[in-house]
Structure 1
C-alpha cells in the first residue's frame, strides 16, 4: 500500500477536511482529493462520507484510521529516539499527571529543569484520566497508584497522605478542633467524594463527613481546596506534600490522615534510552530527595 496515500488519508481523517489537510501537507485540495480517490480505488472501499460540514469516516475508513494512527505513534516514538542526542537533551516531552500534583508540586519546580535543559519543550497534561503511555498519549506519567500495564518501566517516587490543614488566622479566629466531632463547628473544604481523585482522599472525606459537618465547601481539584484554606475559609483536606511550599499551614487533628498513596513515575519500555526521559526522571528524583531532606530537617527542629 502506497505510504504517501496513507499519509494523506491520515491527515484528512484527522482534520476532516481536504482543504485543511492540504494546507498541512502543502498540497492543493485537488491533489489531496486525487490521492484519496486513488486509495479508495485500490482498496475497493469508500473511506469518507462527504457532508456539508466536512468529511466523516465510513466504517472502513475508521478501521484504516485506527491503523494509520498506530503507525504514526510508532513513527513519533522512532523519531523521538533518533533525535535524542547522546550528550544533549532537547525536543518535546509530554508529561501527564493529576491536576493537584501537577499544579501544586510539579509545575512550581519546572524552572530548575529548564535551567539545566533550556532547549527542552515540556507539554504538561494535567487530568485525572489515566493516559495510555504505550499508545503514546504521553511520554512519561506521574501517577498516584502503580501502573497496571506490563510494558512500562516504573519507579516508586514517594508516598502521600491526605491530611487536615488550616491557616493560622482561621484557627486564631475559630479555634482548633480537638476531636473529629468538633469539626461540626468548622467549615470543611475538600473535593467532592464523587469527583475524580485519589481513592484514599475520597475515603477520608467520607469518613469525616460521617460526623455531620453542616458547613461544607467542595471544589473539584486540590488547587481550589488550597486557595480556600489559605484564604481562611475553613479546614482543608490536602496532600501532605504541600507543607514544603506552604510551611505556614497548620496541621489539624494530627491523628487523622488517609491511607498511604504511592506515587509512581512510569514510561514506555521503548523509551528506555531516551535522554529526555532520563533528564526528567533524574530531575524529579532530585526534587523528591530535597523534599524528603527538608521534611526530615523540619521534624528534627
Structure 2
C-alpha cells in the first residue's frame, strides 16, 4: 500500500491556495496583502509549487500575470477544492441547526394536483420549520431568474447550468368509457384505433401520432381526433362523457379504472409516458433546505404507493 505523505500534501495545499490568491487578486502584491504575508514569501511558494508539479503555472511580465494552459487546469481544480471545503464546513454547521426557511417549487399542473398535497404534508411533518410555496404550471420557468429552489419537469432537457435528477417514469394508459365501447366496439389491436374517435393533447406537436410497444416491437397509428385540447384533466372529463378514447397518465385515471368509470384498453401494450426529473440550480455549498427536499422527493416517489399511481405496480 502506498504511504500518503500528509505533511507534503498539506504543504502543497498551502501553496495551491497561495496560487489561487495571486490569480484572483491579479498581482503578487495584492495577494500578499490579502494573505498578510510578504511578497517574497508568496513568490517563493509559487516557485516551490511549480517545481513540485513540474509545470509552469504563470507567465510573469512587468505589467500583468497570465495563466499557462497548465495553470488554467490547475486553477479549476483548486477552486473545486475550495468549494468542497466550504461545502463540508456548511454541512457540519447544518448538523447543529434545524432545517428551516422557505422553499419555492414549480410543478406540472396535473401531476402536482394528484401528488403534491400528500408530498408537501409529509415533508412538513418531517421538517416543520420549512415554509413551502408551490406553483402548479404548465410553463417552463427560469428557476434562477424567478427565484425557485426546484422544479419537476417532464421530458425537457434542462439548461446546462442546472442539475437534473431522474425522479420517476409515468406510464400512459389508454382508457375509454364503457358506454363508448358499447356503441362503437372494443379495439383489439393498435391499428384499429384509426377507426375510432380519439381525444388528443394539442400541447404536443405529435399528439395524434400514437406509438405502442410490445415484446420489443413498435407499432404506430395516426389517430382521428374530433376534439383536441391542451389539458389532461379536460381530456379525462371528455373521456368520462364517452367522447372518445384517451391516452392519459395512469395517475389521473387509475381511480376511474378501479371504479369502473373508465376501462383500460390494450393493457398488453406500452403506450408511451413521460420521464420526470427534479431540476434545481447548482449551488455550492448546496443549501440544507434544498438538499433535504431533493432527498425527500427521491425517496417519496420511490415508495410502492407512488409507483402504483404512476402505473408501474398493481394498485
Deviations 1:129-160 (A, max 9, x none): 32222334421011113543233222111223
Quick one: which of 166, 177, 180 aligns to 1:156? 166
SS of match in other structure, 1:129: coil
* Structure 1 portions without partners, runs of 5+: 1-80
Residue equivalent to 2:295: 282
1:97 aligns with 2:107: yes
Residue equivalent to 1:206: 209
In structure 2, relative to structure 1, the CA distance for the partners of 1:275 and 1:259 (3 Å cut) is same
- Residue 258 of structure 1 and its aligned partner are, at CA, apart by 4.8
Deviations 1:142-186 (A, max 9, x none): 111354323322211122343422245554565322234543554
Deviations 1:208-254 (A, max 9, x none): 896563x6332221122223334443321212344655552533134
1:219 aligns with 2:229: yes
Aligned residues: 209
- Residue 266 of structure 1 and its aligned partner are, at CA, apart by 1.5
Runs of 4+ in 1 over 6 A off after TM superposition: none
Q: Residue 229 of structure 1 contacts residue 235 of structure 1 at CA under 8 Å; is this kept in 2?
A: yes
* TM-score for the superposition, normalised by structure 2: 0.53
Distance in 1, matches of 2:95 and 2:232, equals 38
In structure 2, relative to structure 1, the CA distance for the partners of 1:240 and 1:293 (3 Å cut) is closer
Q: Residue 208 of structure 2 contacts residue 223 of structure 2 at CA under 8 Å; is this kept in 1?
A: no
In structure 2, relative to structure 1, the CA distance for the partners of 1:271 and 1:227 (3 Å cut) is farther
SS of match in other structure, 1:203: coil
1:267 aligns with 2:280: yes
* Structure 2 portions without partners, runs of 5+: 1-89, 212-219
Structure of larger gyration radius: 2
* TM-score for the superposition, normalised by structure 1: 0.55
In structure 2, relative to structure 1, the CA distance for the partners of 1:108 and 1:237 (3 Å cut) is farther
Give matches, 1:175-214, under 5 Å.
Answer: 175-183=185-193, 186-192=196-202, 195=203, 197=204, 202-207=205-210, 211=222, 213=224
SS of match in other structure, 1:177: coil
- Residue 116 of structure 1 and its aligned partner are, at CA, apart by 2.9
SS of match in other structure, 2:131: strand
In structure 2, relative to structure 1, the CA distance for the partners of 1:224 and 1:111 (3 Å cut) is farther
Give matches, 1:1-301, under 5 Å.
Answer: 87-107=97-117, 109-145=119-155, 147-168=157-178, 170-171=180-181, 174-183=184-193, 186-192=196-202, 195=203, 197=204, 202-207=205-210, 211=222, 213=224, 216-242=226-252, 246-248=256-258, 249-254=262-267, 257-259=270-272, 261-270=274-283, 273-290=286-303, 291-292=306-307, 297-298=313-314
In structure 2, relative to structure 1, the CA distance for the partners of 1:259 and 1:181 (3 Å cut) is closer
SS of match in other structure, 2:302: helix
Q: Which stretch shows the higher mean deviation, 287-296 or 143-152? A: 287-296
Q: Residue 98 of structure 2 contacts residue 129 of structure 2 at CA under 8 Å; is this kept in 1?
A: no
Distance in 2, matches of 1:277 and 1:85, equals 15
Distance in 2, matches of 1:245 and 1:143, equals 24
- Residue 188 of structure 1 and its aligned partner are, at CA, apart by 1.8
